[in-house]
Amino acid sequence: MFSKFLQKCRVKSPWVLHFDCGSCNGCDIETLAVLTPVYDVERFGIINMGNPKHADVLLVTGTVNHRNKKVLRNLYDQMPSPKAVIAIGACGLSGGVFREAFNVVGGVDKVIPVNVYVPGCPAKPEAIIDGVVRALELFQAGPEGV
Amino acid sequence: MNTIQIIMALIAGLFLAPLAVGLITGLDRRITARLQSRLGPPILQPFYDIGKLLGKEAILTNQWMAFCSLAYLAGAVISVVLFFLQSDLLLIFFVQAIGSVFLVMGALSVPSPYSQAGANRELLQILAYEPLLILVIVGIFLSTGSFKIGAVYAMDQPLLFKMPLLFLVLGIALTIKLRKSPFDISGSHHAHQEVVRGVYTEYSGPYLGIVEIAHWFEIVLFLCLISLFWSTGVVGLVILLGVTYFAEILVDNTTSRMTWKWMIGSAWSMGLVFSLINLLWLYYG
């Protein structure tokens, strides 16, 4: 019964950390729009945290390059498990139009494991909420799901 | 007090009161969301948050963090238990103060600049509200002739009529302790990104959960102190607590965060002047 309650708590209280890996700010604006009164994700218990040590879900936007891949790795390592990673936008998925550039590593999954991919250029706020809900289904599946 | 009364007091202090505070914080978040034209989280959200935190992986920067979070919890729980056993107000005050200082010591034990800044600000907050708290306790002593809580319950009229200004002073201390605007400089209740997370930055997973539970116990203690101002009837007590907490939510939503200099200046000037007038009135009146 206790583990069932714990599972429910995990699904009901995902605190997100948003990291901009060098996107054009399109996806970032859409990600932050999710937190405004129009979409109000706090009704699902989602809170935007500025601290990786308190976060459960990592939202990454933009292309990963050789400069910020260490930062991304560091943020991921600082999050206590169970944790989920959501890559947002064409750049986060594969590097987007910048994938051939000399400084670009590629998508987020080249550096850290990604659980959910949210496509779009920029991704729509509805799609981002949908992505977070998909990540919560992984929490529902248990610790081996994430 | 006989044995049954002591057991009842322990159950109320250790379980019922923190659960009630959890519900109050959930209600607080919902009312705040409505004031910002949002829908807000479920009422039980604080319980989900704590449940999730306790079930997370424990990552420690150093062993001090674990010790300090537990010592903070111990200080808060012991002060609440002492209150429910109707002990001495001064003793309760000192135990509570020791607990709060352990939260700061844990945050100071890591080199993270955000944790350090938050810890220094938390120390300033403690500096701002502790003198006010002791002045309120002195006021209770002047009205009842004793530091014992039992003496307050022996009064035949509520303390609020004798110490209205000291009640406002306790309100200032409550606002600082609840981490509400304009005094939320070391780690805000609603704004989660002030100096990353201020004094909470380095506590993570189950230790953050322990710190949150300790904070609930501290809120219990402060609401108990407020309840002393209407000790003659349950209905008046509940109304007083409800009105005070709703006023806190309104103040939180209508003011902005100020600097630490402003906090110390305003808390001390308003607090000391109000206390002095009220204490002189009690002494000569």
A44-87 pLDDT, tens digit each? 888 888 889 999 999 999 899 898 899 999 999 999 988 899 99
- pLDDT computed for residue A142 by the predictor: 62
Is B178 a residue whose pLDDT tops 60?
A: yes
CA-based torsion, A20, A23, A26, A27: positive or negative: negative
DSSP state for residue B14 in the 8-state scheme: I
Is A146 a residue whose pLDDT tops 60?
A: no
- The owner of tokens 């935007």 is A48
Q: What number of C-beta contacts closer than 8 Å exist between A and B? A: 85
Chain B residues 98-157 within an 8 A CB cutoff of chain A: none
Every domain of chain A and the residues it spans: 2-140
Chain A neighbors of B203, CB-CB under 8 A: 53
Q: Which of A10, A45, A51 sits opposite B41 (nearest CB)?
A: A45
pLDDT of B74-119, one tens digit each?
Answer: 999 999 999 999 889 999 999 999 999 999 999 999 998 999 999 9
Number of residues that this document lists for chain B: 285
Q: Which of B40, B41, B192 sits opposite A50 (nearest CB)?
A: B192
CB contact under 8 A, A12 and B38: no
Q: Is B141 helix (H, G, I), strand (E, B) or coil?
A: helix
**Residue B84 in contact with residue B6, Cβ under 8 Å?**
no
Is B273 a residue whose pLDDT tops 70?
A: yes
- Asked casually if ipTM beats, i.e. exceeds, 0.95, the reply is no
State the average pLDDT for chain B: 90
State mean pLDDT over A94-119: 89
Chain A residue with minimal CA distance to B195? A50
Confidence of residue B205 (pLDDT cuts 50, 70, 90): confident
CB contact under 8 A, B197 and A51: yes
DSSP state for residue A96 in the 8-state scheme: G
Of the candidates B76, B120, B111, B75, the residue with the CA atom closest to the CA atom of residue B222:
B76
pLDDT of B43-71, one tens digit each?
Answer: 999 999 999 999 888 888 889 999 999 99
Percent of chain B with pLDDT over 70: 100
CA–CA separation, A129 and A109 (whole Å): 20
- The owner of tokens 């903070």 is B72
Chain B residue with minimal CA distance to A82? B56
CA–CA separation, B208 and B222 (whole Å): 21
- pLDDT computed for residue A144 by the predictor: 52
Confidence of residue B124 (pLDDT cuts 50, 70, 90): very high
Q: Which of B41, B48, B59 sits opposite A80 (nearest CB)?
A: B59
Using a CB–CB cutoff of 8 Å, tell me whether A50 touches chain B: yes
Using a CB–CB cutoff of 8 Å, tell me whether A137 touches chain B: no
Using a CB–CB cutoff of 8 Å, tell me whether A4 touches chain B: no
Q: Which of A12, A43, A54 sits opposite B208 (nearest CB)?
A: A54
State the average pLDDT for chain A: 87
pLDDT of A15-24, one tens digit each?
Answer: 999 999 888 8
- CATH number listed for the domain at residues A2-140: 3.40.50.12280
